């Protein structure tokens, strides 16, 4: 399967602004990424990747790539410069040490000045096909609708006859989605485009899947990007149920009617008073064949299949186990066991039910001397409707926890006119089993110039604290968590950091 308008197939990178986020949404889920343009052969060391470039690129600018080891506050160090800022251009960090985990980000440089910084990505070396997204907007974009957002929509699950796709979009900051294109025949990897966008404008887009009667049977998560954009990919999970296949009825050859012997002619002999029956013909025996039974066809069970993108090195006695649960249920069950922790390894689960939506996750487990397992690292959780193919679980072996996915929000509070400052309250989404949180707020993307603190988890609905902001200044907030209490900054038990969120007052 495929997808359209951020983790399919996570890691994997795939075609329009449309529809592809890794999230189940009510009646279905959808996720979105660039298509992978690179070889699947892993390097002996280092990290390779691809640049997903959207928006308006300043004339004469180049891209510089920077790195630092994860969970630290050391400055980022350039490792590749003067890269042409074209979509799907490739990059390589050749000095990445096997088993080490890194933050990598891209900057756009014009006339020696950094004019844009991407969100950092987190990855363990060696690794391949790592996407870095650059969405370059223009302040107050105006002008004719002359930019295009395009890509493809992948559909997992059953696609009923007559199903159609609708692409919806809106400018960031507006409330209402509008239909960009509708009534497009639904098929896996269907190409869609948004041809009336404004260059430099930031948009939110999503895709809807309808059956022939107009019933909504799948909806993507919302994707945010800047026009123009190409080679985007979305994924929709269809919740439509396939028709029940009737049990095959054996073909029976009808038995011919038996051949009747003609009524005999009787000659009556008066002398003996004996009736002698003399048949005028002898019946020929008829061999009637028995019924012919055609065996019922063996049904092919629906399956979910894909590959493992494994970054880093596999410790001894490790294997990958994929777990699944029906969407909305509590307990996970083993779907596939004993997968080799190697990049590009294929997997398949044949126990799925067609039309059912599942949550699935891959976990790197290490067998201990006493026969028990410990979890070493895990992938992001995917929402997948059966049947499905080409699903990708990405595991960074250097991480024991996934990055936080909770939202970061804030309320500006009171304004101090004399100091021109605000005292906003920032709230960070809770993570399951978290005992300690690590918060960073900086004036650069990935920086910690304003805040760099760790604190134990509270029992509140969110983790929150008060901060002081300069009026009109944009800050960048992110956080990590640990399942161990009272740990300090840079403790190896911390997860990778979340994606950054821009925060500002007013």
Can you spell out the DSSP letters for 315-343? PTTEEEEEEEEETT-S--EEEEEEE--ST
* Omega of the bond leading into 506 within 30 degrees of 0 (cis): yes
Report residue 87 as tokens: 């979509």
**What is the DSSP code string of 347-380?**
EEE----TT-EEEEEEEEEEE-TTS-EEEEEEPP
SS3 229: strand
Residues with Cβ < 8 Å from 258, sequence gap 6 or more? 286, 288
Per-residue exposure over 278-303, b if at least 16 CB sit within 10 Å of its own CB, e if not: eeeeeeeeeeeeeeeeeeeeeeeebe
Per-residue pLDDT, averaged over 281-304, amounts to 59
Q: What is the pLDDT of residue 300?
A: 59
Q: Indicate if the pLDDT at residue 374 is higher than 60.
A: yes
For residue 157, is pLDDT > 80? yes
Region 264-282: mean pLDDT is: 40
What per-residue confidence (pLDDT) applies to 145? 75
Q: CB 217: neighbour CB atoms within 10 A?
A: 26
SS (H, E, C) 453-486: EEEECCCCCEEEEECCEECCCCEEEEEEEECCCC
d(CA 417, CA 488) in angstroms, rounded, equals: 36
Binned at pLDDT 50, 70 and 90, residue 403 comes out as: confident
Which CATH number fits the domain that encloses residue 370? 2.60.40
* Residue where one domain finishes, among candidates 192, 207, 238: 238
Nearest to 12 by CA among 392, 461, 375: 392
Structural domain count, the chain: 3
Q: Do residues 308 and 417 share a domain? A: no
pLDDT over 90 at 208, yes or no: yes
pLDDT (0 to 100) of residue 199:
93
- Please indicate, yes or no, if residue 207 is contained in any of the structural domains: yes
Does the pLDDT value for residue 20 go beyond 50? Answer: no
> pLDDT at residue 277 above 50?
no
- Report d(CA 229, CA 336) in Å as an integer: 37
Distance of alpha carbon 306 from alpha carbon 395, whole angstroms: 14
Residues 143 and 173 in one domain: yes
Q: Which structural domain range is residue 343 located in? A: 304-396
CB 462 within 8 Å of CB 410: no
Q: Comparing C-alpha atoms, which of 198, 75, 71 is closest to residue 145?
A: 198
- pLDDT score recorded for residue 259: 52
Question: 366 and 446, same structural domain?
Answer: no
In a domain, 314, yes or no: yes
User: What's the mean pLDDT in 236-263?
Assistant: 65
| C-beta neighbour count of 453 within 10 angstroms | 12
- The pLDDT of residue 17 is 32
Confidence of residue 268 (pLDDT cuts 50, 70, 90): very low
Residue 182 makes CB contacts below 8 A (sequence gap 6+) with 164, 165, 166, 167
User: Which of 238, 266, 296 represents a domain boundary (last residue)?
Assistant: 238
404 beta partners: none
Note whether 184 and 311 are same-domain residues. no
Co-location of 76 and 115 in the same domain: yes
- Per the domain annotation, does 271 fall within a domain? no
Residues 353 and 444 in one domain: no
Examine the pLDDT at 120 and tell me if it is beyond 50.
yes
Q: Inform me whether the pLDDT recorded for 285 exceeds 80.
A: no
Whether cis (ω within 30° of 0) applies to the bond prior to 304 is no
The CATH number linked to 130 is 2.60.40.10
Is 343 in the same domain as 421?
no
pLDDT for 292 equals 54
Which DSSP letter does residue 89 get?
A: -
pLDDT at residue number 267 = 39
Separation between Cα atoms, residue 47 and residue 341, nearest integer Å? 17
Across all residues in the chain, what is the average pLDDT? 82
* CA 240 from centroid of its chain's CA atoms: 19
pLDDT confidence of 289, banded at 50, 70, 90? low
When mean pLDDT is compared across 124-128, 214-218, 457-461, 487-491, the lowest value belongs to 487-491
pLDDT (average), residues 300-328? 90
Handedness of CA 91, 96, 98, 99 (dihedral sign): negative
Q: Is the pLDDT of residue 25 over 80?
A: no
Q: What is the pLDDT of residue 19?
A: 32
Q: Is residue 387 domain-shared with residue 424, that is, in the same domain?
A: no
Give percent of the chain above pLDDT 90. Answer: 57
**pLDDT for residue 500:** 92
* Across 179-198, average pLDDT: 93
């Amino acid at each position: 399967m495929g997808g359209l308008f951020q983790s399919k197939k996570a890691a994997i990178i795939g075609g329009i602004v449309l529809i592809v986020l890794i999230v189940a949404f009510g009646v279905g889920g959808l996720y979105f990424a660039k298509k992978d343009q690179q070889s699947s052969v892993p390097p002996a060391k280092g990290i390779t990747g691809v640049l997903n470039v959207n928006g308006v690129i300043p004339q004469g600018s180049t891209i510089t790539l920077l790195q630092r080891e994860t969970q630290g506050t050391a400055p980022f160090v350039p490792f590749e410069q003067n890269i042409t800022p074209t979509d799907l251009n490739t990059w390589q960090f050749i000095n990445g040490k096997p088993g080490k985990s890194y933050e990598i980000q891209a900057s756009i440089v014009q006339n020696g000045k950094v004019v844009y910084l991407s969100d950092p990505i987190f990855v363990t070396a060696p690794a391949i096909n790592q996407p870095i997204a650059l969405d370059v907007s223009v302040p107050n974009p105006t002008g004719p609708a002359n930019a295009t957002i395009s890509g493809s929509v992948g559909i997992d699950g059953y696609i009923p006859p007559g199903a159609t796709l609708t692409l919806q979009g809106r400018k960031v900051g507006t409330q209402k989605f509008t239909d960009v294109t509708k009534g497009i025949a639904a098929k896996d990897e269907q190409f869609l485009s948004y041809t009336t966008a404004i260059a430099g404008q930031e948009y939110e887009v999503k895709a809807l899947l309808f059956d022939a009667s107009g019933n909504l049977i799948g909806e993507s998560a919302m994707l945010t990007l800047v026009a123009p954009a190409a080679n985007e990919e979305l994924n929709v999970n269809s919740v439509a149920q396939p028709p029940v296949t009737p049990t095959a009825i054996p073909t029976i050859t009808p038995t011919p009617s038996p051949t009747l012997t003609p009524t005999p002619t009787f000659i009556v002999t008066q002398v003996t008073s004996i009736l002698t029956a003399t048949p005028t013909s002898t019946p020929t025996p008829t061999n009637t064949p028995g019924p012919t039974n055609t065996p019922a066809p063996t049904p092919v069970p629906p399956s979910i299949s894909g590959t493992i993108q494994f970054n880093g090195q596999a410790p001894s006695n490790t294997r990958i186990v994929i777990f699944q649960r029906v969407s909305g249920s509590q307990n996970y069950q083993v779907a596939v066991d004993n997968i080799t922790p190697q990049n590009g390894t294929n997997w398949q689960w044949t126990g799925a039910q067609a039309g059912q939506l599942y949550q699935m996750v891959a976990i790197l487990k290490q067998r201990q001397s006493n026969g028990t397992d410990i979890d070493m690292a895990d992938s992001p959780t995917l929402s997948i409707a059966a049947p499905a193919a080409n699903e990708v679980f990405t595991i960074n072996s250097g991480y024991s926890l996934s990055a936080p996915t909770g939202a970061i929000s804030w309320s500006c509070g009171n304004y101090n006119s004399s100091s021109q400052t605000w005292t906003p309250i920032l709230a960070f989404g809770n993570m399951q089993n978290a005992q300690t949180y690590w918060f960073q707020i900086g004036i650069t993307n990935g920086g910690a110039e304003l805040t760099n603190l760790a604190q134990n988890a509270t029992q509140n609905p969110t983790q929150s604290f008060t901060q002081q902001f300069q009026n009109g200044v944009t800050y960048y907030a992110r956080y990590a968590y640990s399942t161990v209490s009272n740990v300090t900054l840079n403790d190896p038990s911390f997860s990778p950091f979340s994606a950054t969120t821009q925060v500002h007052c007013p």
